[in-house]
Amino acid sequence: MARLTPEDLQEAMIWAILLVLAVAMMPHAAHRLSLLIRLRRLRSEPCPPPVNGDWPRITVQLPIYNERFVVERLLRSVAALDYPRDRIEIQVLDDSTDETTEVVAQIVAELRQAGVSVEHLRRPARAGFKAGALQYGLKRAQGELVAILDADFVPSVDFLRKAVPYFFDPRVGMVQARWGFLNREENLLTRCEALFLDGHFLLEQAVRSKSGLFFNFNGTAGLWRKSCIEDAGGWDGETLTEDLDLSYRAQFRGWRFVYAPEIVVPSELPAPLTAFRTQQHRWAKGAIQTARRHLPALLRGAFPLRHKIEGGFHLLSHTIHPLVAALALLNLAVLLAPWRSSSLQPMVSWSFTCLSLSFLLYLLAIQRLDRGKLGASDWLLLPVSLGLSLGMSFANTHSVVEGALNVHSSFVRTPKRGDCGARPLGRSYRARHGWGLPLLEISVAAAFLWALVAACRHGLWFALPGCLLHLFGFGFVGIGTFAAILKERRLSTAVALA
């Protein structure tokens, strides 16, 4: 019997890892394909007729934290909502620790003089972060419906009049509007972000809502029935995604959710990479925390099988990130291995290619849903978006692991700038980032540059597309984050010395 060499054992181990990754990734790819197929078969829910009688009383909650550059825009847009003045109250839930509070106080005083019912609420402590602020305001809310808008959202004047009629079905507990984007074209990052979010709103939310499946409130640009929130146990700050957590608790209680894509509420996308990373960390970690909380109840509960399957994919969607990160490292290890396997290297590269093609087709379908006919820049955005998702895989994996281990961390708001980035970042609220992950991403980008050279030298032409995508993705994310951190710290120092 032939004796196995160390190289044979290494190759067998890599084959085993590749097989495990392929089996684990297939359900994610199949689920995306099923969403596209189901969307074409489903019909949109008809819009409800307009209200003929009395409009219900509404409380509009505006949770803010150190957002002085966008809070005036928010307050004035909410004050301009076309809704009976005697049926609406506005709560500014202000947890700020900077001059935002002074700005809010001035605007609130001005709006009150104009006859707007607006209250400036300050808590003694920021317990529970955003969830705590919403619960604090809920106890004081007079409305039977509660609208929630984050600081960077700018609702149109008819936002409430379009959403409220859905609540004349007493089973409806929440209505979610679609997000629009004020700064979609600001830079390459915001274009990619808009494409990713279009996938969520044009496809995922639409399919789940039309199919009567569980889906989630997105934290803003939506309305709740107050009694629904109370029946589900209220807002809870134990996870970083209080919106997802409450959504599942409410739907477990039998409340019906409605997604209204015809109602579009513009918002501001995070333009610097540091702000984008902050947002992604909260979403990925919070989703896994929520899965820890609610997946067992979902699987054990007396819900239809299709609810359990879709709910499982929904809550565990971020588990794709560790798989992508592992495949990237496997690809790198095979390309840089001192031994050569004529079968293993192309197999790993083709596995990555298949995964990439499935994701590119998904992004292409989203673009077609949003824009119809595509231009040259739309086609170029596809590989760029794929590269960005690859580059974020290490950071998102870190978030998933923290969520799985339930590592405690503070709720960090996504920094918002207003005026599409016209104001200096150093003077606005920002989240602090360490150097570790960006340096790791830059190192991996450098390793893929080396692998690219090695592939060219050995004639491994099939590996070039993957090397280029990894080089761009990790380089773009790592170097971009590194540069953004340096810029923010330089601006902060300049402000402190001014």
Q: What is the mean pLDDT of each run of 10 residues along the chain (498 residues)?
A: 68 84 92 92 80 90 94 97 96 95 96 96 91 97 97 97 95 98 94 96 96 97 98 96 98 97 96 92 96 97 96 97 94 77 72 86 90 82 95 97 89 71 49 82 96 88 90 96 82 53
Long-range contacts of 344-347 (CB under 8 A, 24+ apart): 344/11, 344/14, 344/15, 345/460, 345/463, 346/460, 346/462, 346/463, 347/18
Q: Give the list of residues 6+ apart from residue 446 with CB closer than 8 angstroms, or none.
A: none
Of the candidates 94, 150, 152, 243, the residue annotated as catalytic is 243
Q: What token pair was written down for 397?
A: 């994996």
**What pLDDT sits at residue 419?**
60
Distance linking the first and last C-alpha atoms of the chain = 78
Q: Does domain 58-272 have CATH number 3.40.50.2300?
A: no
Concerning whether 243 is annotated as a catalytic residue, the answer is yes
Give pTM, 2 decimals.
0.92
Burial of 248 (0-12, 13-18, 19+ CB in 10 A): buried
**Amino acid identity of 402?**
E
Q: Which of 442, 466, 478 is nearest to 334 (CA)?
A: 466
Say how many C-beta atoms besides its own lie within 10 A of residue 380's C-beta.
12
**What pLDDT sits at residue 18?**
86
**What pLDDT sits at residue 496?**
47
Of the candidates 94, 95, 198, 245, the residue annotated as catalytic is 95
Q: Tell me the domain boundaries of the chain.
A: 10-38+318-414+432-497, 58-272
Query: 222 phi and psi, to 5 degrees?
Result: -150, 165
**What pLDDT sits at residue 48?**
85
CA distances from 382 to 35, 191, 368, 372 (A): 19, 10, 12, 15
HSE, side-chain direction, 13 A CA sphere, residue 386: 26
Concerning whether 95 is annotated as a catalytic residue, the answer is yes
Instruction: Give the alpha-carbon dihedral of 364, 367, 369, 374, to 10 degrees.
Output: -100
What is the biggest distance separating any 2 CA atoms in the chain, rounded to whole angstroms? Answer: 92
**What pLDDT sits at residue 429?**
54
**What pLDDT sits at residue 84?**
95
**What pLDDT sits at residue 493?**
58
Give the integer Cα–Cα distance in Å for 171 and 155. Answer: 25
Q: What token pair was written down for 235?
A: 């807002």
